[in-house]
Amino acid sequence: MQSFSEIDNLSPGGGSLMIAWQLKGKRVLLVGGGEVASTRVEHLLGADAHITILCPERGLHLTTKRYIDAYPSRIVYFDRRFTGPSELHKIDLVLTAIDSPATSREIVDLCRKAKIPVNAADIPELCDFYFGAHIRDGPLQIMISSNGNGPRVSAIIKDKVRASLGGHEGLAISKLGLLRSRLKERVPEVGGSVGRKRMRWMTKICNEWLLKDFTFLDDAMIQKLLDDGWEQNRTPTFEEVSGKPSTSPSEDTASQPERASKSPVFGSQYLISIANFAAGAAVMAAFMYARRR
């Protein structure tokens, strides 16, 4: 239960509502084709959007050009500037990445009238939403926002966050998603007590296995996990399901601190210790042997 002061601490204000916008099958208008626009294209393709780019060809960045060539079914390109309100017909989201703040302002005004969410690069006061530093690993996405305090500091924190990840998280989440959908095939009820039981069982597996262990899941293991686990209302260990020992826990210690003491850093330090002990012994032996002669 939260106290009033905790509630106050939880609500510092001054932030953004961090959300994962769904663009599958949606139409996005991107006004501009330069370097900033090219990073927008990357994010939009990653979210399965249909993209219309307006930009005179001489203003196209090489990367934007390559995206246009590589995704002809996803990107419609027009070699011209924004012409007026008709450009917004059936558009779900608008991004501007152009040099003229005046033109951006005009486009934003039209979007407001048409109730279309809009971002104008480099003009925060015109934006319905901001972008941030972004990490993508398969189904895993992480966004870091400094709420307008500079992209460089977001990038520094992004590097730190990325370094804390083991690189296996995306695959592990994909396999977890596969396990979840196999379980749903077996017990397809939506909501209700079965839905809750399914969620509890998935949560339990998530808590008891190391994240990296999920990367090894294959069809046979999923079958065994559901037969021996779900059907018996228990959560078998990774060892039991795979016949192999669990992976090194080093990558998962942040979330599963009880296993931290087995970290391989300890292992390598231990080897260094033995090597140094041996070196010390050898030097002393040589010294004493020399003295004896």
Restricting to residues 179-208, name those near a second copy by CB under 8 A.
180, 191, 202-203, 206-207
Asked if residue 99 lies in contact with residue 35, where contact means CB atoms within 8 angstroms, the answer is no
Instruction: Report the nearest approach of a second copy to the CB of residue 111 (Å).
Output: 11
250 binds a second copy (CB under 8 A): no
Q: Which two tokens stand for residue 7?
A: 């509630």
Measure the CA–CA gap between 115 and 176, rounded to whole angstroms: 38
Segment 96 to 115, residues that bind a second copy, using CB under 8 A: 101, 114-115
Measure the CA–CA gap between 235 and 180, rounded to whole angstroms: 14
User: Measured between alpha carbons, how far is residue 119 from residues 23, 108, 123, 150 in Å?
Assistant: 15, 8, 8, 17
Q: How far apart are the first and last CA of the chain?
A: 77
Comparing CA positions, the residue from 10, 63, 39 lying closest to residue 131 is 39
Which of 34, 50, 59, 63 forms a contact with a second copy (CB under 8 A)? 63
Residue among 24 and 58 whose Cβ is closer to a second copy: 24
7 binds a second copy (CB under 8 A): yes
Binding mask 131-170 for a second copy (x = CB under 8 A): xx-x-x-xxxxxxxxxxxxx-xx--xx-xxxxxxx---x-
216 binds a second copy (CB under 8 A): no
Asked if residue 130 lies in contact with residue 119, where contact means CB atoms within 8 angstroms, the answer is yes
Residue among 80 and 184 whose Cβ is closer to a second copy: 184
Hey, which residues are catalytic here? 122
Which of 30, 49, 53, 54 forms a contact with a second copy (CB under 8 A)? 49
Residue among 89 and 292 whose Cβ is closer to a second copy: 292
